[in-house]
């Protein structure tokens, strides 16, 4: 009897928004064996545990969905943010190199200063405004220095039916209040985590691994206020959504005022269609509605 072994894909940070979307996709990719590792199962900051995990399971791909994502808290918890977003990415890249594993890592639009007037390309200069962005940029640098089989996806404004995010916060607020104020002078593009997970899986399935940095977000550039308005419209809530300025809503971490990402390199390299932001939002809100009614 011939023995067949399926290709193993390790997903770290598997209980986060993006990690959960990979869990959702596993049945659509039956040729692969997914190893979903939560923070408890695989703390990526622990180099010994990472090495042990790789030597025991021998994955062919590693998709790093683990991160320290509390942008405002990162201003104070600098060591914790740097350990996960920078040092641990170096640890994973070194393990990937040692065990010949292709490495997918996720980064952010917050590596940019946000003073551009057109979407940022992968070749544009980085200059993070906050510590989270700095720690994520350091993670990119460590991964690329360590290993040449790394694909980095910079993404922005990530939401999902899982975890905590802007969409779920807005749904709660518009249900509770008659009026809310949302920032209307920061521009960017939302990313439905399910779309990003699907894009990465298509690259793996088509054996189309191309090392380097790629920008990935849903198409269309909007403000947080427009995003909130769309959430209100689609969910048919009566709450009034007022436009406010960044100055009206001070936060510990500075945010870029324009962080739209240019996805042409991704589209030209992989020919994988990217859904439009509102279409994906409708899809996600439909899933959340079905959870509520079931």
Ligand X SMILES: NC(=O)c1ccc[n+]([C@@H]2O[C@H](COP(=O)([O-])OP(=O)(O)OC[C@H]3O[C@@H](n4cnc5c(N)ncnc54)[C@H](OP(=O)(O)O)[C@@H]3O)[C@@H](O)[C@H]2O)c1
44 versus 151: smaller Cβ distance to ligand X:
44
Shortest Cβ 5–ligand X spacing (Å): 26
32 versus 224: smaller Cβ distance to ligand X:
224
69 versus 204: smaller Cβ distance to ligand X:
69
Are 257 and 185 within 8 A, CB to CB? yes
2 versus 225: smaller Cβ distance to ligand X:
225
Are 211 and 121 within 8 A, CB to CB? no
Are 230 and 287 within 8 A, CB to CB? no
Are 284 and 234 within 8 A, CB to CB? no
18 versus 231: smaller Cβ distance to ligand X:
18
Find tokens 């460590």 and name the residue: 142
Pairing, β 222-223 against β 187-188: antiparallel
Return d(Cα 162, Cα 173) in angstroms, integer.
17
Return d(Cα 31, Cα 26) in angstroms, integer.
9
* Of residues 88, 94, 96, the one with CA closest to residue 59: 96
Residues designated catalytic? 132
Find tokens 């940029």 and name the residue: 137
* Of residues 94, 45, 96, 97, the one with CA closest to residue 67: 45
Residue nearest to ligand X (CB): 16
Return d(Cα 112, Cα 123) in angstroms, integer.
11
Summarize as ranges the residues that interact with ligand X (CB under 6 A). Answer: 12-13, 15-18, 39, 43-45, 65-69, 84, 88, 106, 108, 136, 155-158, 163
76 versus 179: smaller Cβ distance to ligand X:
76
Are 38 and 14 within 8 A, CB to CB? yes
Are 54 and 93 within 8 A, CB to CB? no
SS3 79: helix
167: enclosing H helix or E strand? helix 166-176
For residue 16, what are its two tokens? Answer: 């986060």
């Amino acid at each position: 009897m011939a023995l067949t072994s399926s290709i193993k894909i390790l997903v770290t940070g598997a209980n986060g928004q993006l990690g959960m979307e990979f869990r959702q996709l596993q049945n659509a990719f039956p040729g692969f064996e997914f190893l979903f590792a939560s923070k408890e199962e695989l703390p990526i900051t622990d180099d010994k545990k990472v090495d042990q995990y790789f030597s025991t399971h021998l994955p062919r791909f590693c998709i790093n969905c683990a991160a320290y994502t509390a942008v405002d808290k990162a201003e104070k918890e600098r060591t914790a943010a740097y350990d996960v977003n920078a040092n641990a990415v170096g640890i994973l890249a070194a393990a990937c190199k040692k065990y010949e594993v292709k490495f997918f890592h996720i980064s952010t639009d917050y590596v940019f200063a946000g003073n551009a007037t057109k979407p940022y390309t992968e070749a544009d200069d980085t200059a993070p405004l906050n510590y989270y962005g700095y720690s994520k940029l350091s993670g990119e640098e460590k991964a690329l220095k360590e290993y040449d089989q790394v694909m980095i996806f910079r993404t922005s404004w990530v939401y999902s039916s899982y975890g905590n995010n802007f969409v779920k916060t807005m749904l709660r607020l518009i249900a509770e209040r008659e009026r809310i104020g949302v920032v209307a002078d920061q521009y960017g593009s939302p990313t439905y985590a399910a779309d990003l997970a699907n894009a990465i899986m298509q690259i793996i399935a088509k054996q189309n691994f191309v090392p380097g940095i790629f920008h990935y977000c849903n198409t269309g550039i909007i403000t947080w206020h427009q995003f909130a308005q769309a959430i209100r419209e689609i969910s048919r809530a009566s709450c009034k959504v007022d436009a406010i300025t960044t100055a009206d809503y001070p936060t510990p971490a500075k945010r870029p005022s324009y962080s739209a990402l240019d996805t042409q390199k991704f589209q030209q390299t992989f020919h994988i269609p990217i859904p439009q932001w509102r279409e994906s939002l409708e899809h996600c809100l439909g899933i959340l509605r079905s959870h509520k009614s079931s």
